[in-house]
């Protein structure tokens, strides 16, 4: 399960159009969404209904997006989901509770100008999922992070690969492999512990992975002699892919969640015209 709460949805064709019509600047709070991607038994669910400013409320501890909300109670992030699957309408409703084992203060720039930043808020967490529609429940390992930028993503990057994996002792390893538009490529590789501490590690060699059905190129780091292997492609779109893969990092064989993003594909006109089918808007 993947949940992303957007303020100024980075993938929004409506936000891109508003910036284009308004001289490059638009109100991010007028382009908000809760993206829920649910995989496994019972079939896939996908929600990403975008909502304008009149449908949201934000404070330090609460974020309301239409009928859905996120609330931090001091110990847990409680996510109440009440959305509709697209493009085929099916209710997606339930509660997800994320309990950090420790909060992390690590923040780093992803580009060479410091305009795009990534911060893993709670990379080692536990989650409790209680879904009404579809009827599902489980508990397990979770990961929570944040991304923010001072400019549109297409101004800063060409593409990136990102992956995170749970280690045998409960740590989480993350590799952010970025190709900025300006300056040298960047690879951020960190190991996070449940207490919130973190240590960098030297990323091993980058191996190419099989392209997706939409011909999105993928790659992943792995230790010498152990080429990474795709287990399952969960999301295969014209500009973005989410996969499960096997790799080896820090002396361990790991199963990682892996994502690849192609910015030129995202900003192409055919993709912009297709996106409303997956991202309807309620102004």
Q: What is the pLDDT of residues 57-110, one digit of tens each?
A: 999 999 999 999 999 999 999 999 999 999 999 999 999 999 999 999 999 999
Average pLDDT over residues 245-268: 98
Closest C-alpha to 203, from 221, 191, 228, 226: 221
Whether residue 43 is predicted with pLDDT greater than 90 in this model: the reply is no
In the numeric block, the tokens 């609330």 are attached to 71
2-26 residue pLDDT tens: 999 999 999 999 999 999 999 999 9
The domains of the chain are located at 150-274
Full DSSP string of 89-101? --EEEEEEEEEES
Angle (CA) 51 52 54, round 5°: 115
DSSP state of 269: H
Query: Which of residues 179 and 42 earns the better pLDDT score?
Result: 179
Angle (CA) 75 38 250, round 5°: 70
196-242 residue pLDDT tens: 999 999 999 999 999 999 999 999 999 999 999 999 999 999 999 99
Whether residue 42 is predicted with pLDDT greater than 80 in this model: the reply is no
Q: Phi and psi dihedrals of 69, rounded to 5? A: -155, 160
Closest C-alpha to 153, from 120, 185, 183, 110: 110
pLDDT at 56: 98
pLDDT at 183: 97
Q: What is the pTM of this model?
A: 0.96
Provide the pLDDT confidence category of residue 269 given band limits of 50, 70 and 90: very high
pLDDT-above-90 percentage for the chain: 98
Written as six digits, the tokens of 24 are 């490059």
Q: How far apart are CA 31 and CA 42, in angstroms?
A: 30
Q: How far apart are CA 28 and CA 58, in angstroms?
A: 12
Q: How far apart are CA 115 and CA 244, in angstroms?
A: 29
Pairing of strands 252-262, 240-249: antiparallel
Q: How far apart are CA 248 and CA 239, in angstroms?
A: 26
For residues 135 and 41, is the Cβ–Cβ distance under 8 A? no
Full DSSP string of 101-158? SS-----EESSSSS-EEEEEEEEEEEEEEEEEETTEEEEEEEEEEEEEESS-HHHHEE
pLDDT at 41: 78
pLDDT at 283: 79
**Residue 17 CB coordination number (10 Å):** 12
For residues 64 and 78, is the Cβ–Cβ distance under 8 A? no
């Amino acid at each position: 399960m993947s949940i992303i709460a957007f303020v100024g949805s980075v993938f929004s064709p409506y936000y891109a159009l508003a910036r284009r019509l308004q001289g490059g600047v638009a109100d991010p709070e007028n382009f908000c969404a809760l993206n829920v991607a649910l995989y496994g038994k019972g079939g896939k669910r996908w929600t990403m209904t975008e909502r304008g400013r009149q449908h949201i409320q934000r404070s330090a501890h609460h974020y309301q997006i239409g009928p859905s909300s996120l609330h931090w109670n001091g110990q847990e992030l409680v996510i109440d989901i009440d959305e509709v699957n697209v493009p085929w309408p099916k209710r997606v409703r339930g509660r997800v509770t994320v309990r950090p084992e420790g909060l992390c203060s690590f923040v780093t720039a992803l580009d060479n100008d410091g305009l795009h930043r990534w911060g893993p808020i709670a990379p080692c967490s536990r989650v409790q999922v209680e879904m009404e529609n579809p009827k599902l429940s489980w508990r397990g390992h979770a990961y929570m992070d944040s991304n923010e930028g001072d400019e549109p993503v297409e101004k800063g990057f060409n593409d990136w690969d990102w992956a995170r994996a749970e280690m045998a002792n409960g740590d989480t390893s993350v590799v952010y492999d970025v190709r900025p538009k300006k300056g040298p490529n960047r690879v951020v590789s960190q190991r996070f512990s449940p207490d919130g501490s973190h240590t960098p590690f030297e990323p091993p060699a980058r191996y190419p992975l099989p392209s997706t059905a939409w011909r999105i190129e993928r790659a992943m780091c792995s230790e010498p002699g152990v080429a990474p292997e795709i287990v399952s492609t969960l999301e295969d779109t014209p500009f973005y892919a989410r996969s499960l893969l096997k790799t080896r990092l820090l002396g361990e064989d790991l199963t990682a969640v892996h994502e690849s993003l192609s910015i030129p594909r995202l900003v192409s006109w055919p993709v912009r015209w297709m996106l409303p089918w997956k991202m309807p808007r309620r102004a």
